[in-house]
Amino acid sequence: MYENRERIVLDALKEKQSISINTLKKLLYVSDSTIRRTLASMEEKGLIIRSHGKVCSLSVYANKNTSFFERESFEKSVKMKIAERAVHDAVRDGYVIMLDASSTAMYAVENLKRYNDLIVITSGIKTIYYLNESDMQYISTGGRAINASYSFVGQTAINTIRTFNADICLLSCHGLSETGYATDTSEEENFVRRAMMEYSKRKILLLDGTKENKGFYHNLAHISEFDDVYCNVKLSDKILKTIKNFHLVE
């Protein structure tokens, strides 16, 4: 019976990337306590992600071929708040800024418009579109394009990054492992992010709470390597002890 409930939830998520908990209760004909136990167990097994009254397919983060547009819409308001807070705290006029191809970093562009004389370097193809609508000076890393994630990767992208020195970089990841590593499903995108970290004075990680305790197969860096971490939830005490500067975005 328990396995049957899990199967029904997973089948429903094949139709949509996310579904409300109220809808699932009606679908399963179970009580509030039963649905909470079922979903908590499924999340612990790494089958789903729970977030603000809904359940989301793990494939939004686990599948490197997932459409950028799916990831862009997932937790959009939260990502926008995180990006806004990080820009407000860290950016100053005249800065050189590196942005990866993540949807969270892309949301920083709107907030960057209030500053003067910025230079933005990005591997994000869609980020370039938003930068093109502004008056900011920007540089594309170029490189081989990954269509699904709208990102440039490869040695060309890395070589471009290595020709500049940035004041800050704004990066994200698919998941934060229990041991404190920022992880991803794409090693090629991580190689680009790593280069950005190496050539930036200040390294900033933008992290929404759904990514906590989600360790994917490729490590970007331990969270202690970042100068600042912005997240909408308080991370575990074990992880917080290793972070230089943690910023809770409410």
- What number does CATH give the domain 69-248? 3.40.50.1360
Tokens at residue 148, please?
């699904």
Q: Do domains 2-57 and 69-248 have the same CATH topology?
A: no
70 versus 81: which is more confidently predicted?
81
212 versus 231: which is more confidently predicted?
231
Check if the beta carbon of residue 212 is closer than 8 Å to that of residue 195.
Answer: no
Q: What is the pLDDT of residue 65?
A: 45
pLDDT tens profile 40-50: 777 666 677 76
Find the angle CA(106)-CA(219)-CA(222) to the nearest 5 degrees: 85
Residue of 59, 65, 50 lying closest to 16 (CA atoms): 59
Q: What is the pLDDT of residue 61?
A: 46
In the chain, domain spans: 2-57, 69-248
Q: How far is CA 119 from CA 26, 96, 116, 172, 205, in A?
A: 51, 5, 9, 20, 19
Residue of 163, 161, 124, 127 lying closest to 145 (CA atoms): 124
Those residues with Cβ within 8 angstroms of residue 52's Cβ, 6 or more apart along the chain or in another chain = none
pTM: 0.74
- What number does CATH give the domain 2-57? 1.10.10.10
